[in-house]
Amino acid sequence: MILRGFLLGLAACLCFLPDCTGQVAPSLNGSWLLTGGWDPALKDGPRLTLTMGSAGEDLFGEGDYQVPGCAGTFVVHGKLVADGTFTLTSRFISITGTFADGRFSSWTGSYKTSFGNNCSNSSGKFIANRIKSPQGTYSGTMKTPGGKTVTVSLRLITGEFTSKALQQNVEADMSIPTNVVHFTPVIGTLNIAGLGDMSNTEFTAIEDPNSRVFGDEFIISFPLENKSILKVAGIMKDGEASAALVMVTIFSEGKPTESAAGVLVRQ
């Protein structure tokens, strides 16, 4: 018993070494609900969600912040230190986290925002709980602004956190002051009919920084033959990713030309 207690104590001490910190950091990878609930009216206060990924001891995150009448996305960066704490910061938000155990099914923290404009600044403490990223086939019907019905089937696969070196910052639709972006990719296949002259048309997306998961949202781009881009943006309706409010938009020369929106349900 004495030997077993000594070994357990030794293991606990070793887990405060930098190498151990680097080993457990990947357990943070994925999406988390920090504050708020899933009620559309945001009755439980601001909804703050975060998708995280680790590269050694470095942590990267993208998230979504919503309050009534305002929403904002953000990119943050920080470092996991030996005692299991970290701070993720950006111009708009600061998030501090602490791990209470080695299971990483949840963690505690605090946040402070400074988005400005129509977003009232807020701060508070939270217990972060893991939420599911979009995965599987989502289907349903949408409506264009003119009332036309669009039928959509969207198969999504959320990949593992990764990074990509860019030739130019403008290659990615992300305001990150670096030539390397870190993101959680989402790829998929889109079957769509009724948008413009599309009739049971199928598109396939590949891994790209512009197709990614951030918090409770995702965006995925499908290139068209005429060099236009079909973008699909969605926000999850619950923590199980069982449905999403989705908008599909065709961009030609950087300008939206046609769009439709509606709720897609995972089959």
Looking at residue 253, its pLDDT comes to 87
Looking at residue 18, its pLDDT comes to 44
Looking at residue 68, its pLDDT comes to 80
Q: Which domains does the chain have, with CATH numbers?
A: 2-130 (2.40.128.120), 136-266 (no CATH)
Looking at residue 21, its pLDDT comes to 52
Looking at residue 102, its pLDDT comes to 57
Looking at residue 40, its pLDDT comes to 76
Q: What 3-state DSSP class applies to 241? A: coil
For 8, 112, 171, 215, the CA distances from 92, given in Å and listed in that order, are 42, 9, 23, 16
- Residue partners of 218: CB distance under 8 A and separation at least 6: 133, 134, 156, 158, 186, 212, 233, 234, 236, 244
Looking at residue 117, its pLDDT comes to 72
Residues of the chain with pLDDT under 50: 1-20, 169-177
